[in-house]
Chains A and B, each alone.
Chain A
Amino acid sequence: DAKTTQPTSMDCAEGRAANLPCNHSTISGNEYVYWYRQIHSQGPQYIIHGLKNNETNEMASLIITEDRKSSTLILPHATLRDTAVYYCIVRQTNTGNQFYFGTGTSLTVIP
């Protein structure tokens, strides 16, 4: 079963921040939250991951709530090239590289 819940689709104006929510209410204390995105016909691209603390890299910021039951991926200044399907994944510690991707959020950046 899916361990995360994401909206099916979202729109964002170019240049504005895109905030993509993810619910993972059953997350365990040692499970990581990973975000990937997939542009049509390409392999998934790693964006960011976190365990408890908020994280930021050159692509995005990840905000994890204190109870860890939800998180938000923030793309600070969305561009047309950010149009993609975004996957929020809870990575279990005992299943190695086995990800359950779910259906993700289809983000469309509008000019």
Chain B
Amino acid sequence: KAGVTQTPRYLIKTRGQQVTLSCSPISGHRSVSWYQQTPGQGLQFLFEYFSETQRNKGNFPGRFSGRQFSNSRSEMNVSTLELGDSALYLCASSLGPMAGNTIYFGEGSWLTVV
């Protein structure tokens, strides 16, 4: 069974540009969540989607947005990139948002903003 797949794995963007990251959850999983990891702030929750609806959102500016499609695949977008957005962006999936459902993470997308 394939794991959580994230694309692209590595990318470099310029300040002011926007970026879209993609996540394909494990087959059958309907919940997708996104995290940002930086050396200074560690792993921080961005948002979570279930059945195409955003359920929770972390404390990030509106430049960070996401969506989920009917096949449970998800994308996140960061507009007007800043140097501080350089980070590892992680996607995770689970069967659903219930606390007993295990969450599995992808390998992440490394974003460098120059």
Listed in ascending order, the chain A residues whose CB lies under 8 Å from chain B are: 30-32, 34, 36, 41-46, 49, 51, 87, 91-93, 95-103
Contacts and interface: CB of A to CB of B under 8 A. Distances in A.
A2 B105 CA distance: 21
Given A96-B50, A98-B33, A43 B45 contact: no
Interface string B44-69: 11001010000110100000000000
A97 B48 contact: yes
A93 B104 contact: no
A82 B44 CA distance: 24
Contact of B58 (A41, A46, A87, A98): A98
A67 to B, nearest CB: 20
Interface string B79-92: 00000000010101
B99 interface: yes
Interface of B: 4, 31, 33, 35, 42-45, 48, 50, 55-56, 58, 88, 90, 92, 94, 97-100, 102-108
Contact of A93 (B33, B50, B99, B105): B99
A43 B107 contact: yes
Interface of A is mostly: loop
B105 A32 contact: no
Q: Which 7 A-B pairs have the closest CB atoms?
A: A96-B97, A43-B105, A101-B43, A97-B33, A93-B99, A44-B105, A43-B107
A44 B48 CA distance: 17
30 contacts: A31-B99, A32-B100, A34-B102, A34-B103, A42-B108, A43-B90, A44-B90, A46-B103, A46-B104, A49-B100, A49-B102, A87-B43, A91-B99, A92-B99, A93-B98, A93-B99, A95-B56, A96-B56, A96-B97, A97-B48, A97-B92, A97-B103, A98-B33, A98-B45, A98-B48, A99-B45, A99-B103, A101-B35, A101-B42, A103-B42
Nearest to B92: A97
Residue with the highest number of chain B CB atoms closer than 10 Å, among A32, A43, A93, A101: A43
